[in-house]
A and B are shown apart, each in its own frame.
Chain A
Amino acid sequence: MSLEIHNVTKYFGEQCVLSDFSYSFPDRGLYYLTGDSGRGKTTLLRIIAGLDRDFTGSVTGNASCSLLFQDKRLFGNLTALENVAIVNEKRGCDRAAVKEAAAELLLSMNFTEEDLSKRPQALSGGMQQRTAIARAVFYPADVLLLDEPFKELDKQNRDILSAVIIRESEKRLVIGVSHEADDPARNGSVLIPL
């Protein structure tokens, strides 16, 4: 399912953060929005995700979206495993199977069995970030939007996550935002300057 962005313009008060932006995304692949702070990268992700409707222009394609929020937004009263599993626990689903799949994903992202039952407050910043990424990846959407996915991650975890992101981009459309030029997943991705 392709995603079409037509002449999107967004103002915050008097300030224009996106001006007449258009782009046509295919149904899979890895794309990175680049540019200095304040150029509207996060805003564009929010518009694509349907969280910001106060703009002119249009976003078409009816694609469902998953988004890694820059501020993580983990549910404080759930464990790391529950935070990931909950996005797939819909009515009538096999909860045990969903939990098992969520656990498998987290374990592949450098978590230990013990970490799975920890609440976000008991996790380091890097582990919280990996939990948030795992949750975004685990949600079965057509488009995966990642706002600064490599923030707070060390080299080893960057490489692990890079592999996860590249794998996801082979199955669906992944659009990322990163300020860091050494972001390993940017290699081989399409860069879109804003």
Chain B
Amino acid sequence: MKTLFYRFRKPLLLTAGALILFLLWHIAAAAFDIPLILPKPLPVLKALGQLLGTAVFWKSVGLSVLRISLGAAAGLIVGFLAGILSAASDTVRTLLSPLFSVIRATPVACFIILAWVFIGSAQLPVFIAALMVAPVMMTGTLTGLKSTDGALLEAAYLYRLTFFQRVRTCYLPALLPHATAALVNCIGLAWKAGIAAEIIVKTKDSIGYAIWDAKSWNVDSTLLFAWTLTVIFISLLFEYLFRLLLKLRKESGNVA
């Protein structure tokens, strides 16, 4: 029994943590007793169940995932390239530093409002997701490349290894842990920023629009919470899938 518990310790603790959250939510909702503001978990789960059976739900989820994924992918590529260039050249790093510092320091809502002037509401979540992800990926790439073992690089130089051999033996092993950590952060960040953009600019056929609609038009907190749960589930699902992919690649020996 004890062995069985230790084997499934992590998933059991995670489930227990989630159940405690739901219990606290239920207690708070019961104590507050105004379902219009704070509904109980069960009606929310029921509303979510009903949403799952509608075409609007899947269309909104699909388009939101598509937009935010596109933005995140673009941000990751830009951040990765900026990280490589910054690691290769102090001049580039210094030149890019103010831009990325401004992006990091500015609240996402400000960017959404500012960018809305120039970009349509359908494309804005893509842009915002990219904007939030790029500095994180840039820092992860830069830190990883800067942590490359100088002693290994010296060995690679001595043995006249080719550029690709040096990337494989020296840079990738240093880069991967940092880039992976940045990627996991980016998934959550892109998702949160993208949904925030959808809510503020009311992007048609999106989760953000559904949340705004539930809050402002229908004043249906149960529906609002159901959509919020959807956002959380999808974000966790992406993170889980990414970690699973990394684990599988590591087990197959493809990751340094």
Q: Which residues of A contact B (CB under 8 A)?
A: 49-51, 65-67, 69, 71, 73, 75-78, 86-87, 89-91, 135, 139
Contacts and interface: CB of A to CB of B under 8 A. Distances in A.
27 contacts: A50-B158, A51-B154, A51-B157, A65-B158, A66-B158, A66-B159, A67-B158, A69-B151, A69-B155, A73-B151, A73-B152, A73-B154, A73-B155, A75-B170, A75-B173, A77-B169, A77-B172, A86-B159, A86-B161, A86-B169, A87-B159, A87-B161, A89-B165, A90-B162, A91-B162, A135-B159, A139-B159
B36 to A, nearest CB: 57
Contacts of A75: 152, 155, 169-170, 173
A67 B154 CA distance: 11
B173 A76 contact: yes
Nearest to A132: B155
A144 B152 CA distance: 19
Given A49-B158, A69-B155, 15 more contacts: A51-B154, A66-B158, A71-B151, A73-B152, A75-B152, A75-B155, A75-B169, A76-B256, A77-B168, A77-B173, A77-B256, A78-B169, A87-B161, A90-B160, A139-B159
A86 to B, nearest CB: 6
A20 B21 CA distance: 75
B158, B172, B256 pick with most chain A CB within 10 angstroms = B158
Contacts of A49: 158
B151, B159, B165, B256 pick with most chain A CB within 10 angstroms = B159
A49 B168 CA distance: 23
* Interchain residue pairs A-B with the least CB separation, the first 3: A77-B256, A75-B169, A73-B155
B151, B157, B169, B172 pick with most chain A CB within 10 angstroms = B169
Contacts of B160: 90
Contacts of A86: 159, 161, 165, 169
Main secondary structure of the interface of A (DSSP, over half): loop
A65 B158 CA distance: 8
Contacts of B161: 86-87
Interface string B100-129: 000000000000000000000000000000
Contacts of B170: 75
A75 B158 CA distance: 14
Contacts of A65: 158
Contacts of B165: 86, 89
Interface in B68-112: none
A157 to B, nearest CB: 22
A67 B151 CA distance: 13
A46 to B, nearest CB: 9
Contacts of B172: 77
Contacts of A77: 168-169, 172-173, 256
A141 B158 CA distance: 10
Contacts of B158: 49-51, 65-67
B200 to A, nearest CB: 44
Nearest to A79: B253
A65 B155 CA distance: 12
Contacts of A135: 159
Interface string B132-172: 00000000000000000001101101111110010011101
B15 to A, nearest CB: 34
Contacts of A139: 159
A69 B150 CA distance: 13
Nearest to A73: B155
A77 B170 CA distance: 9
